[in-house]
Structure 1
Amino acid sequence: MDEYINGVRVVRHRGSQRHTDVTLTFAVGSRDETLRTIGVAHALEHLVMYTVRDLPIEMNAEVDLLTTTFVASGSAARVGEFLNRLSRALAAPPADRLALEAGVLTAEEGNVAHPVVAFLLNVRYGARGPGLAWLEGAGYDGLTPEHVSSFAKKWFVPANAVLQVTGPLPDGLEFELPSGPAPARVLPPTRSFDGPVVVGHGIPAAGVLLTLPPDDDIRLSTLAIITLRQRIEEKCRFVGGHSYEIGLDLVAGENGSSDWVVYAEAREGSEDAVSRAVVAALTDLAENGPTPSELAHQIARAEENLVSDDPEVRRAFSTAMSRIVGEPELAPVDAARLAAVQSSDIAAVLKTALPGAIGYGDEHALEVWHEAGFTLASACPVIAELPAGRTFKPPLTARTFVKEARSMLWVRTDDALVLRDSDGIHQIRWDEIAGVMRSEDGPTIVLGLNGCAIPLDRDLFRGATDVLTELSERVPQDLWYDEPKLDV
């Protein structure tokens, strides 16, 4: 029977140890922020951890794309005090420390996802949900106490939490978290392509985003993506000596599907070789599947996980997390079917996903992607032709001395702002503006939910004053923010 304490689901791990280890996981991460409040989850984590810093036990906390996690280890009494004080701080965050903590957060320079993961998710989702991991927003110095308090009140409720305990359960757990219903999460729309595409940037790495179907009772999608990662690691690290970090990440999609990103960093001068290895691994596995030795290794690893973990506890935690995020519950792993997986099964998963793949390569190492049938795509959406509307050109002096200005043209329509530049024609609808960044010395930047950004610069845009006036009238003030002033 499920166990709860003041509405928090409790999952107990077996063990006879005398000390207590706890992991308190909330189903909220950076994907649940907005452009205006990027970093609020991390700021809240810092603020509440400040309130327990004097406890003489091991403790830590982390925010990633999907979750916020607090961990502690010590005597049951001290760990219980940790959880109770932490809960009270989440209900009433010490937001008076926000300005001071902003400097610490900026110095920490933490990322919720690897840059390749963040960039590809931004291409897929734009300036919302998981795509926010790529953007800076207003910076930590742009957050307000109200942002922190509202975020805590919405997401850090008992119904959105799972507590894992190993060792004695602390007495007197109160969990005085913010009261409220389980938060509803709406998956943002995604950008898709007709055929595999590749996007380029200046990150020295290569990677690919693949949308895979829900895992089944042999976890075939996970098995396929781990096999791909293993092949890339073998070629990039152990054979080529080009990479140290080869990783993967995922975010849940619709109906149990997942967007997986596999990436490999590249040392200087090896960007082309790493792209070539990633493309070759993906296309060969999609066509032929893993070799017998690769397949045997991955199945053996999966089987080891089954015997090394407590299946009942693992399933209880998985079920609890699935419930609070609204995802389908996974069926138990069928060991007999897992052992019978064929190379063709893994090939079929990757081959089906390949037409919708979004590849990433260093901007100077994209030819190998083209050779494999990947079409170059813009990092943000472009439209086919300029719409009718009031047009604005840069002044003659700008067109004379600024090369980029010669191809630029702004169009203001009743429905949208439009910019034509060297990358194509970008459009942001008035009702899909994610935020507007003011700058003291540079342009005002209009950012769209679709991922596009349109600069409005009085020096490069005749009529910019008129459009800025219209922006101030159309866009709610809580979407405006100043360019971050804090820097490392």
Structure 2
Amino acid sequence: MKQYEIDGVPALFVKATGPLRAGLMFRVGRVDEPLPLAGVSHLAEHLALHRHGLMDHHANATVDATTTHFHTSGTAAEVVTYFAKLCTGLIDLPVDRLGVVREILRTEAAGRGGGVNASLPLWRYGAQGYGLVSYAEFGLNQISGDDVRSWVTENFTRDNAVLWVAGDDVPADLRLDLPPGRRRPLPAPTSALPDTPAYYHAPVDGIVMDTVVPNGVAGQLFAALLERALYRELRLESGISYTACADYSSRGDGMATITAYADALREKHTAAVNGFVDTFRQLAKAGIDEQELNAVRTKALQSLAHPEYEASRLPGVAANLLTGQPVPTVDEVSEGLRSVTAADVHTVATEAYANALLQVPYGVPADTIGFTPAPTTSDAAVEGRRHAARSGDGQTLIVADDGVSVTDRSGSALTVRFAECAARLRWPDGASVFLGLDGITVSVEPTLYRVDALDLAALERDVPEGLTVTMPERSPDQIPQPERRGLARRPVRKTEFMILAPITGLLAWALVSLANAWRPEDGEFAEKLLLVLLVAVAVCFVRVFLVGLYRIRFGRW
């Protein structure tokens, strides 16, 4: 691999067969975008490529957590033209296309799944830095042309870029006409977890875990060992899972994220969680088997001999250069793999277990696995004006000058203080959702709480400027309505009807039987018994009639 510069942009070159491949990577991604501007890099990427039109060679671009990457393959002339037009597009963005591109991206988002691990960053980091990748691109609803231009001017510069090329040679006429700038630093990692290892529940059908370890060969080998162990235990031996895998990715700041996943049928969720955690814990507590380590080490060493290895790692090396991480040669990678010991990997395994965050399906008891529940409520509510829920369910909305809270009968609170607010989403119908930096969310729905216009106006005044995101108008069926208390009791009333109706029939039968058998000489006790049965039948009949009429009215048969 050779390193040099083109027009002030650091460049990497690897000689390779096949069509010329090249990529231009910038150190800006989702972790850098404040929530009110979420999606601005994606908008810039699409606008910059607009002038390319339909291309007869492969070309694409992606925005991930920390980088924006434009890449292509084709003839030398096609690659040169691609980057020339790209640089022109970045310098002179066609912002007149902003409305069209915005709709394209909203359509793309509607058809894109979040993945089984989509919420893990939010729970680990909160609504800031590395946690921002869990959120939708809210900024697409309001980002202006000036916003995109400012973002591109700041981040899409030659000092914040690295070029990589794989092919027979670097075209002599390849130019990168980019303005000067500065290298964007990575955000400092944050934490929304008071303690780890931790867990939380989610509406999923599998088990997902991520953890943070020092970036290096030992971590890569541990991820491979964890995948082997999970596959052996959950698929081959117990037959609980079909897929059991693990992934390793550098965070860019000297740390790396290991993500592991195992699927399971609903009736086997509990067994899957226990098997997953037991397997993970065994690696961390019992040590690393030398034979297993040698197996994953051999596989990793074999990959270095692949003729495409050097070319395939070019994007990763470019990312390392952009984040200031070491760029080892192939020989150095090989030596690192050969020299790592079982003790080195066990150290990583211990740290991985200590930092783990586990996502488990709803309904699975997780209080026995030795993990701490991740926080789902706030420490305290704000002191302010109280507004009861229209449903009468005991929830209360509290609006204060410094924040908002929602409390329930138990005293638990969800609180977002304006000084620690990542964004406020506001709809034309008056609703707002406040997203706290710690990941807590508070919804203010005028249809659900008896909140007055005065406090709704106060939110406009007290929320810091720049945090509000104007959301598109909602259709009537998207606006939540209070659930009447009577409707919430439908299951109870169904049970009451099913029990009371046969009892009423039984009492009526007893009343008729005793009345037919009654004689004047039976005495006063028999008369009182008949009177009691008559009253009981009357009361039960009225109740059964009312409950039955209620259920007919609401179509609950």
Calculate the TM-score normalised by the size of structure 1. 0.84
Shift of 1:301: 1.9
Aligned-residue offset at 1:147: 2.9
DSSP-derived class of the 2:446 partner: coil
Paired residues of 2:28 and 2:155 also in contact (CA < 8 A):
yes
2:219 aligned to 221, 224, 227, which one?
A: 221
Could you say what secondary structure the match of 1:322 adopts?
A: helix
Q: Could you say what the CA RMSD is over the residues aligned between the two structures, in angstroms?
A: 3.3
Among 366, 378, 381, the alignment partner of 1:382 is: 378
State the Cα distance separating 1:317 from its structure 2 match.
Answer: 6.8
Report how many residues are paired: 470
Q: Residue 445 of structure 1: CA displacement?
A: 1.0
| CA 92–464 in structure 1, closer or farther in 2 if over 3 Å, else same | farther
The one-character-per-residue Cα deviations of 1:190-212 (angstroms, maximum 9, x if unpaired) are: 22332421011112221112121
Residues 10 and 376 of structure 1, relative CA distance in 2, 3 Å threshold: same
Aligned to 2:75: 75
1:387-431 superposed Cα distances (whole Å, 9 cap, x missing partner): 6x2241415x431xxx3xx1445262x544333247932332222
8 A contact 2:248–2:256 mirrored in 1: no
In 2: Cα distance, 1:49 partner to 1:303 partner: 39
How many Å apart are 1:252 and its aligned residue?
2.2
Q: Distance in 1 between matches of 2:230 and 2:411?
A: 31
Helix, strand or coil at the partner of 1:9: strand
Structure 1 counterpart of 2:459: 471
Shift of 1:448: 1.7
Q: CA deviation at 1:286?
A: 0.9
Secondary structure in structure 2 of the residue aligned to 1:296? helix
Partner in structure 2 of residue 428 of structure 1: 416
Instruction: String of CA shifts for 1:255-294, please: whole Å, max 9, x gaps.
Output: x223433233445555444433432221111122444443
CA distance in 1, matches of 2:415, 2:345: 39
Alpha-carbon distance in 2 for matches of 1:265, 1:72: 35
Q: Which amino acid aligns with 1:53?
A: G
Please give the per-residue CA displacement for 1:92-123, whole angstroms capped at 9, x wherever unaligned.
Answer: 22222222223322332389995343311001
Measure how far apart 1:442 and its partner are. Answer: 6.8
Give 2:64's aligned residue: 64
How do residues 37-48 of structure 1 correspond to structure 2 at under 5 angstroms? 37-48=37-48
Task: Return 429-438 or 348-357, whichever deviates more.
Answer: 348-357
What letter matches 1:479 in structure 2?
L
Cα distance between partner residues in 1 of 2:371 and 2:454: 41
Q: What pairs with 1:138-177 in structure 2 (closer than 5 Å)?
A: 138=138, 140-167=140-167, 168-177=169-178
1 CA distance for matches of 2:146 and 2:262? 39
Structure with the larger RCO, 1 or 2 (CA within 8 Å, 6+ apart): 1
User: What is the distance in 2 between the residues matched to 1:438 and 1:224?
Assistant: 45
Aligned to 2:351: 352
Contact 1:63/1:112 (<8 A) preserved: no
Q: Does 1:20 align with 2:20?
A: yes
Superposition deviation, residue 306 in structure 1 = 3.0
Select the structure of larger CA radius of gyration: 2
Is the aligned partner of 1:394 residue 2:394? Answer: no
> CA separation in 1, counterparts of 2:236 and 2:156?
43
In the alignment, the residues of structure 1 paired with residue 56 and residue 240 of structure 2 have an alpha-carbon distance, to the nearest angstrom, of 43
Q: Bigger shift: 179-188 or 59-68?
A: 179-188
- 1: CA distance, partners of 2:248 / 2:430: 35
Q: Distance in 2 between matches of 1:311 and 1:162?
A: 19
Mapped contact 1:13–1:313 kept (Cα < 8 A): yes
The answer on 1:371 being equivalent to 2:388 is no
Q: Does structure 2 retain, via aligned residues, the 8 Å contact 1:115–1:134? A: no
Change (3 A) 1:131 1:334: closer
Contact 2:27 2:323 in 1 (8 A): yes
Corresponding position of 1:258: 256
CA contact (8 A) 1:394 1:409 kept: yes
Residue pair 2:404, 2:416 contacting (<8 A) in 1 also: yes
Shift of 1:222: 1.9
Distance in 1 between residues matched to 2:327 and 2:20, nearest whole Å: 29
**Contact 1:197 / 1:374 at 8 angstroms: preserved in 2?**
yes
- How far apart are residue 5 of structure 1 and its match? 0.9
**Structure 2 residues without counterparts, runs of 5 or longer:** 476-557
- State the TM-score, normalized to the length of structure 2: 0.75
